[in-house]
Every structure is written in structure tokens, then in C-alpha cells.
Amino acid sequence: MALVNAKEMLTKAKQGHYAVGQFNINNLEWTKAILLTAQELNSPVILGVSEGAGKYMCGYKTVVGMVNGMLEELNITVPVALHLDHGSYEGAKACIEAGFSSVMFDGSHYPIEENIEKTKELVAICKERGLSIEAEVGSIGGEEDGVIGAGECADPQECKQIADLGVTMLAAGIGNIHGKYPENWAGLSFETLDAIQQLTGEMPLVLHGGTGIPADMIKKAITLGVSKINVNTECQLAFQAATREYIEAGKDLQGKGFDPRKLLAPGFEAIKATVKEKMELFGSVGKA
Ligand SMILES: [Zn+2]
């Protein structure tokens, strides 16, 4: 099945009270692990690509070529969207040209008027080309590819203003943070989330920084309109731990343990296990 935009899968998720996972990719192993897990669990999935990861993978065209090739050669039949994560205005335009099926424009660091202006323009282009588009209001805490946010809560009125521009889904800061959560983290602000949902209605809401948010908070967020949850750091940590274990056990020194296909296999399996766990928690299993 060819790439699809994220609109239909997220509309269904919002109506069905579950969330679709966005898992960020970094290379071939990452992409293959996520696609195979989605297929095995019959779950829709969104592949996230940050601008930094896009650059690392040689550029957006390489990413599109790799993903399209895998969809065909792995016989992936579940809905898959290829989505730019935290895109700049220029980055979003480049991904639209390269063949992504979905983009996020993160204008949260602009004054609201400028965020609206740029979002509007990109909404029009995406509509014309059949892509879905995510916008962000209120910066999300922590660091994402050099963009550092303070973890503020979005203004629900501003969320409504951006939602009304015709975006497909909306990311709003509700106290969530990218990366690992600090010991003294105050938790998600359900009050903010509830206020945003009341004003934005049917709009699927996006929860960034899904790594380390306790399962009960994830479930509660889904009941309050979150239909897309971004997971990035957790796959990185799982990959790192499994790779460390392989090397510390000296397996790379045994026989052909140095073969990259063997060396990367435990990390690959660890990503698969993490994605499976998240899809089960989000409720997207069997919803393709
Ligand atoms: Zn994010």
C-alpha cells in the first residue's frame, strides 16, 4: 500500500478513542522494525522524521525512496504516513516536494500572528497536494534537534485560532517534555488539555514527548482527545541498551558477531518490542 496522509487514521482514532503512534526513524533498521511491527499488529502507523534525522539519512528524497521501497518489498498493507516532525517553514516545503505524505510545521517559536500566517500558507499547499498537516501551539519542553522549549501550557484560545486554519491535527504543550522526564516533573496538565479539546472539538490532538509518561496519564490523555502520540527517545534508549548488552557480553568478538547484521540485530528487536508495547498501550492494535 502506498503512503497515505494521516487524516483518516487520526479521525478514526479520535472517534474510536485510541491513539496512533508516531515513531521517529533514524536509519533502515529503525524503519524496518517499525513497519514490520505495525504490519504484525495490524496497526496504522506514522513514521516521524526530524530535520536532523532527514539530513542524517542523506536528505528527504532518500527517506522517501527508502520508505516507499520498504512498503512495497515488505508487503506492508496497513496505513503508513511519512511525517516531518517539528518542521521549519522551509523544511515543510522541502518535504512536500520530496514526497512526504504529512508534515508538521512548528511555528510555536514565532509570535502567534506569524505562526498563523505561515501555517495558513502551508495548509493551503498541503490541501492542494493531499497531505495532512500538524501545527503546534505553545512550545513543548526539553530539547528536540537543538530546539529547546520550556514545557509551557498552550493557551486554549490560541489553539482554537490555529485549529480553525484547517490543520489536520494540533500539537499543544500541556506540560509534556521531549526526552527523559526529570524527577520533579509536575505531570500533564489535564485541565489545559480538557480546555483545548472543548474549544477545538473534532480536531485530533497530538501528544509529543511520549517517552516516560506513565501509562495511566497516556490513557487519560486519550480520553481527552489525544489521537496521536509521538515516541522517539524510548526507541533510542531500547536500541542503545540492547546494543550495549551485546557488546558487553563479548558477542561481537565471537564467530561472525562483528557482522553489522548481527551487531544491530538486538537493537532492532528492542525497537520492535518497544513499538509493540506502545501500540498496545495506545490501543491502535487491530485498527488498520
Ligand atoms: Zn515533538
Q: Give the integer Cα–Cα distance in Å for 224 and 108.
A: 22
Say what the pLDDT of residue 182 is.
Answer: 79
pLDDT of residue 147 exceeding 90: no
- Whether residue 288 lies inside any domain: the answer is no
pLDDT, tens digit (0-9, with 9 covering 90-100), for 13-35: 999 999 999 999 999 999 999 99
| Residue 1 in domain | no
Residue 287 in domain: no
Domain that holds residue 38: 7-282
Q: Confidence band (pLDDT; 50, 70, 90) for 148?
A: low
Q: 64: which strand partners?
A: none
Q: 62 alpha carbon to ligand 1 midpoint, in Å?
A: 22
- Residue 274: inside a domain: yes
Higher pLDDT, 173 or 64: 64
The verdict on whether 85 is a catalytic residue reads: yes
pTM: 0.95
| Coil vs helix vs strand at 102 | strand
Cβ neighbours around 66 below 10 Å, total: 18
Q: The CATH number of the domain where 206 resides is what?
A: 3.20.20.70
- How many domains are there within the chain? 1
Asked, for residue 251, whether it belongs to a domain, the answer is yes
Query: Measured in angstroms, how far is the CA atom of residue 172 from the centroid of ligand 1?
Result: 10
Is the predicted pLDDT of residue 119 greater than 70, yes or no?
A: yes
Whole-number Cα distances in Å, 23 to 20, 50, 261: 10, 11, 22
Taking only the tens place, the pLDDT of each residue in 256-276 is: 999 999 999 999 999 999 999
Decide: residue 63, CB within 10 A, 0-12 exposed, 13-18 middle, 19+ buried. buried
90 assigned to some structural domain: yes
State the number of CA atoms in the 13 A half-sphere of 35 facing the CB.
25
Q: How far is the CA of 142 from the centre of ligand 1 (A)?
A: 9
59 falls within a domain: yes
Instruction: Answer yes or no: is 228 within a domain.
Output: yes
Instruction: Report CA(262)–ligand 1 centroid distance (Å).
Output: 32
SS3 of the chain: helix, strand, coil, percent, to 5: 50, 20, 35
Say how far apart CA 144 and CA 209 lie, in whole Å: 10
pLDDT of residue 149: 52
Which of 85, 145, 155, 216 is flagged as catalytic? 85
Spacing, Cα 241 to ligand 1 middle (Å): 23
